[in-house]
Chains A and B, each alone.
Chain A
Amino acid sequence: MGEPAIQTDNLGKLFRLGAGAARYDTLREALTRAVRARRDDRRDLWALRGINLEIEQGEALGIIGPNGAGKTTLLRILAGITYPTEGVARTRGTVGSLLDVGTGFHPELTGRENVYLSGTVLGMRRNEIRARFDEIVEFSGVERFLDTPVKRYSAGMQLRLAFAVAAHLEPPIVVVDEVLAVGDAAFREKCLGKMAEMGRRDRTVLFVSHDLGAITRLCTRAVWLEGGRIQSDGSPREIVSRYLEKSTPERLLDVEFDAEPGTSVSVRRASVRDAATGEVLTAPERGQPFTIEMAFEVRDVLPDIDVALIVVDELGAVIFDDAVRDRASVGTLSGEPGVYVVSATIPPVLRAGRYLVRGWIGNRYESSVDHDLLQIRIAPRTEDPREFMERTRAVQPEIDWQVKRQPLP
């Protein structure tokens, strides 16, 4: 402990947009074209600049920041996948990289073959894999299908096997990029537990995630990257709450979204409405029931469609999540193409504070939509006493207290 495991010194990475002829990355192609249209010259983009970090052995560092902030680039440099343009990064020992679930997996090969393949690709030796093989298989829960080609696995089974391999890696430093955004909730928790365990065993973990709750739960320290630079660095709770405060506007109670081209489902509008009148709320108050309404388009049939809302507080903790299929008979939510409007009435339990509402649409196999929709700031009620205990409670339901007094016998 106390020994640095990673040091970076003025680390920077430059991407030259518009240089080179053959770029197959569609995003980069699009950028190139956009840049060319304005000015014929090449444009430089510093994906990372002036990064000075010192991470101690045993630390679990969470990295947060908006898309394009350079989070993945940082991980890729540390893992040796790509070169920095300036500065230097030093790591004590090798870095295992978990930038994707199932790196090296091949659909034609069997589960057993893929465990060996993926394990080796991720840096395990053959005898290490052999020694852990049973453990990996047990963790994944796909024993029965070990000799079946992975292409016949369900998406969920593939994920479980892939993650089981990754979870058993033992390099002294691991960089993890958003791989937990997939998979079913129970298995995700199991994986998070495994990662937390990794962190405890003197291993240094760098963890990029949009799941701010996971960052506060798993990490001992957090860094907020913005535009390729370190915006702030400190305890996860502090950084996450600062990030949420800054990165999202004051409040977003009625938002329209553009249809995303190339996707089968997209949210078009989300709003917070008065539960009684149906009007869009401008300043919700604590104790006031409200409705979250979400309109979305389904362009290609999505069988077994389900819609969920996730409400997250300013520390990234999930206050509740709920799906249509948890409650209602599904009725007209058939998954056939069309425009759907779902609304959920939220009972008055939220304490005063700031919340993010995330929308999720998908089925057991895929998440078609999973992103932040709304930001709600719930004001304290004027008659509320000073909120001296504010931070200690997660919810503030209307509790009906009864007090009776009897005279002493």
Chain B
Amino acid sequence: MSPKFRARTAEEPQGYWREMRPPRRGLPRLGLRELWEYRDLALILALRDLQLVYRQTLLGVAWVVLQPLVAMLIFALVFGRLANLPSDGVPYTSFALAGLTVWTFVSTAVSAAATSLVEDRDLVTKVYFPRMLAPVAAVLAATVELLITLLLLIPVLAIDRVVPPVQVLTLPLWIAGAIVLATAVGLWLSAANVLYRDVRYVLTFLLQAWLFISPVAFSSSLVPDRWKWAYNLNPAAGLIDGMRWALLDGPSPGWELAVSVGSLLVILVSGAAWFRVAERVFADTI
């Protein structure tokens, strides 16, 4: 068996050989250890992305908060006031923001991850690094923004006089779920984008459609029970319901949550496997 690609040399034993062979058939290794060894690169790429987004902008980091805030106000006006959608008995603004924090993160992270490899084409063709690092770094950068957005919940909940219930302690779980979801979908799309640039065009449409089937503007309680299983195949549905349960004491998650988690795992595992297979030709096709 060939030794795995390893990153650095300083601490490597003498006589260590690194081998380049034609890709083997069948399922590849995940290479998590190597990803960890290249963490410096992931961090600096994420840092670069963060530095770039707000450079030469007037409002700077304020944009991170403004995006979900403005979306929340629009949603509250259109869906809360005009359409009068039910919001599980909490003020619509809080209801919308709980969903929007997750959704804004998932959509930014997924679009950034999807284009990450192609935008860093120079790196892919000029240096070696575990290719998964590119989408992972993109998600990492978006995660920092997510943490800032979460702070926005404090004043909004306070204004709406919503007191978070005990299960607010599960919040990190839902956030972790969102990060995993963005990574999983990001792996799929970023690798696909290298091979078929159509992804760029599909992306906008995909995110739009995804928003409509996720309970961002509406409550999952509107979905008839016999369709719950299909509705929850969208992991975002389970995650957003979970967020609302944790923050606003919304309906507690039931068996549907298992459907969402299962579907999330399927997307993650298949995404990672597909990525590792597809990456064999990245440098030659990108």
Q: Chain A: residues with CB nearer than 8 A to chain B?
A: 15, 20-24, 76-95, 97, 99-100, 103-104, 106, 108-109, 113, 116-117, 120-123, 125-126, 149, 171-172
Verify A109–B126 contact, CB threshold 8 A: no
Verify B123–A80 contact, CB threshold 8 A: no
Verify B18–A108 contact, CB threshold 8 A: no
Instruction: State the CA gap A91–B15 with chains docked (Å).
Output: 10
Task: Please indicate the chain A residues that have their CB under 8 angstroms from the CB of B51 in the complex.
Answer: 108-109, 113
Task: Please indicate the chain A residues that have their CB under 8 angstroms from the CB of B122 in the complex.
Answer: 100, 103-104
Verify B52–A83 contact, CB threshold 8 A: no
Task: Please indicate the chain A residues that have their CB under 8 angstroms from the CB of B15 in the complex.
Answer: 92
Instruction: State the CA gap A248–B285 with chains docked (Å).
Output: 33
| 17 extra A-B contacts, CB within 8 A, seeds A81-B124, A95-B18, A125-B40 | A20-B285, A21-B196, A22-B197, A89-B20, A90-B18, A90-B20, A93-B9, A97-B126, A97-B128, A99-B125, A104-B127, A108-B51, A109-B48, A113-B51, A116-B44, A126-B40, A126-B44
Task: Please indicate the chain A residues that have their CB under 8 angstroms from the CB of B23 in the complex.
Answer: 83
Question: Nearest CB to that of B198 among chain A residues?
Answer: A22
Instruction: State the CA gap A120–B44 with chains docked (Å).
Output: 8
For residues 122 through 142 of chain B, which have their beta carbon under 8 Å from a beta carbon of chain A?
122-129
A80 and B48 in contact (CB under 8 A), knowing A103-B122, A172-B9? no
Verify A81–B16 contact, CB threshold 8 A: no
Task: Please indicate the chain B residues that have their CB under 8 angstroms from the CB of A81 in the complex.
Answer: 124-128, 283
Expressed in whole angstroms, the minimum distance between the Cβ of B185 and any Cβ of chain A is 21
Question: Nearest CB to that of A172 among chain B residues?
Answer: B9
Instruction: Kindly identify which residue among B8, B22, B124, B195 contacts A83, using a CB–CB cutoff of 8 Å.
Output: B22
Task: Please indicate the chain B residues that have their CB under 8 angstroms from the CB of A172 in the complex.
Answer: 9
Q: How many pairs, one residue from A and one from B, have CB atoms within 8 Å of each other in the complex?
A: 117
**Max chain A C-beta neighbours (<10 A), residue from B18, B52, B197:** B18
A121 and B127 in contact (CB under 8 A), knowing A83-B22, A84-B22, A90-B19? yes
Verify B44–A117 contact, CB threshold 8 A: yes
Q: Is B171 an interface residue (CB 8 A)?
A: no
Expressed in whole angstroms, the minimum distance between the Cβ of B184 and any Cβ of chain A is 24
**Max chain B C-beta neighbours (<10 A), residue from A78, A87, A123:** A123
For residues 216 through 247 of chain B, which have their beta carbon under 8 Å from a beta carbon of chain A?
none
Question: Nearest CB to that of A91 among chain B residues?
Answer: B18
Task: Please indicate the chain A residues that have their CB under 8 angstroms from the CB of B285 in the complex.
Answer: 20, 22-23
Interface size on B, residues (CB 8 A): 40
Q: Is B161 an interface residue (CB 8 A)?
A: no
Cβ proximity bits B273-286 to A, threshold 8 Å, 1 near / 0 not: 00000001001111
Expressed in whole angstroms, the minimum distance between the Cβ of A274 and any Cβ of chain B is 48
Instruction: State the CA gap A333–B101 with chains docked (Å).
Output: 63
Q: Chain B: residues with CB nearer than 8 A to chain A?
A: 5-9, 12, 15-23, 40-41, 44, 48, 51-52, 55-56, 122-129, 195-198, 280, 283-286
Verify A91–B22 contact, CB threshold 8 A: no
Verify A103–B127 contact, CB threshold 8 A: yes
Instruction: Kindly identify which residue among A87, A99, A171 contacts B126, using a CB–CB cutoff of 8 Å.
Output: A99
Expressed in whole angstroms, the minimum distance between the Cβ of A242 and any Cβ of chain B is 29
Instruction: State the CA gap A24–B196 with chains docked (Å).
Output: 10
**Max chain A C-beta neighbours (<10 A), residue from B20, B21, B285:** B20
Expressed in whole angstroms, the minimum distance between the Cβ of A216 and any Cβ of chain B is 27
Expressed in whole angstroms, the minimum distance between the Cβ of B282 and any Cβ of chain A is 8
Q: Can you list 26 residue pairs at the A/B interface with Cβ under 8 Å?
A: A21-B196, A22-B196, A22-B198, A77-B20, A79-B128, A80-B20, A81-B126, A81-B128, A84-B20, A89-B19, A89-B20, A90-B17, A90-B18, A90-B19, A91-B18, A93-B12, A94-B8, A94-B9, A109-B52, A109-B55, A113-B48, A116-B44, A121-B41, A121-B44, A126-B44, A171-B9
Instruction: State the CA gap A108–B51 with chains docked (Å).
Output: 9
Instruction: State the CA gap A79–B114 with chains docked (Å).
Output: 25
Instruction: State the CA gap A106–B123 with chains docked (Å).
Output: 12
A79 and B17 in contact (CB under 8 A), knowing A94-B8, A109-B51? no
Verify B283–A82 contact, CB threshold 8 A: yes
Instruction: State the CA gap A104–B125 with chains docked (Å).
Output: 11
Task: Please indicate the chain B residues that have their CB under 8 angstroms from the CB of A78 in the complex.
Answer: 20
Expressed in whole angstroms, the minimum distance between the Cβ of A131 and any Cβ of chain B is 13
**Max chain A C-beta neighbours (<10 A), residue from B40, B48, B125, B127:** B127
Task: Please indicate the chain B residues that have their CB under 8 angstroms from the CB of A121 in the complex.
Answer: 41, 44, 123, 127, 129
Closest 6 CB pairs of A and B: A80-B128, A82-B283, A89-B20, A93-B9, A120-B44, A103-B126
Instruction: Kindly identify which residue among B5, B56, B286 contacts A108, using a CB–CB cutoff of 8 Å.
Output: B56
Verify A92–B17 contact, CB threshold 8 A: yes
Instruction: State the CA gap A108–B5 with chains docked (Å).
Output: 33
Verify A83–B280 contact, CB threshold 8 A: yes
A106 and B128 in contact (CB under 8 A), knowing A76-B283, A92-B15, A94-B7? no
Expressed in whole angstroms, the minimum distance between the Cβ of A356 and any Cβ of chain B is 30
Task: Please indicate the chain B residues that have their CB under 8 angstroms from the CB of A92 in the complex.
Answer: 15-18
Instruction: Kindly identify which residue among B17, B21, B128, B196 contacts A84, using a CB–CB cutoff of 8 Å.
Output: B21
Instruction: State the CA gap A54–B52 with chains docked (Å).
Output: 44
Task: Please indicate the chain B residues that have their CB under 8 angstroms from the CB of A122 in the complex.
Answer: 127
